Amino acid sequence: MELSDSVYIALNLAETYTAQRRFTEAETVLALAIQRKPDNGDAYFGLAVAYVSQGRFQEAEAAALQADSRPHRIADLHLILAKMYLRTKPDKVADQLELYLKEAPNSAESDRVRKALEAAKRK
């Protein structure tokens, strides 16, 4: 098994733990994934999801920004940031939605995100 494969196995396990509301286990698995491959932004994304699920928004933002500063495959991190910024930094929402559309222009969510972007720009 390659190191990168083990990171994605860890991410899948952490996603399962988060869905089961087993956040401590999710955080532990993600911390190990980050330790094994610190430049993998997807592990930080998983951590952001676990934090958001617990209402730990400052930690979620920090983890999402760490993910964004590294190579990642998950454009949804911009949706997490946009949702958090609706409450705290509304002037940054449109930027995050644009980044999402740049990374995932044809996703299942892209039409909804385009509408949200139009609304954010009108405000």
Instruction: Give pLDDT tens digits for 83-99.
Output: 989 888 999 999 999 99
106, amino acid identity: N
Number of compact structural domains in the chain: 2
90, amino acid identity: P
Angle between helices 76-88 and 93-103 (to 10 degrees): 170
More confident call, 33 vs 71? 33
State residue 122's pLDDT score: 86
Q: Judge if 122 and 83 occupy the same domain.
A: yes
Note whether 101 and 92 are within 8 A (CB): no
**Domain enclosing residue 108, as ranges:** 75-123
pLDDT-based confidence at 1, cuts 50/70/90?
A: very low
Note whether 82 and 57 are within 8 A (CB): no
Measure the CA–CA gap between 1 and 33, rounded to whole angstroms. 14
Which tens digits make up the pLDDT trace of 2-54? 445 677 888 899 999 999 999 999 999 999 999 988 998 989 999 999 999 89
Measure the CA–CA gap between 78 and 99, rounded to whole angstroms. 7
Q: Judge if 68 and 11 occupy the same domain.
A: yes
Q: Judge if 16 and 58 occupy the same domain.
A: yes
Q: Judge if 107 and 120 occupy the same domain.
A: yes
State residue 2's pLDDT score: 44
Q: Judge if 108 and 64 occupy the same domain.
A: no
Q: Judge if 2 and 62 occupy the same domain.
A: yes
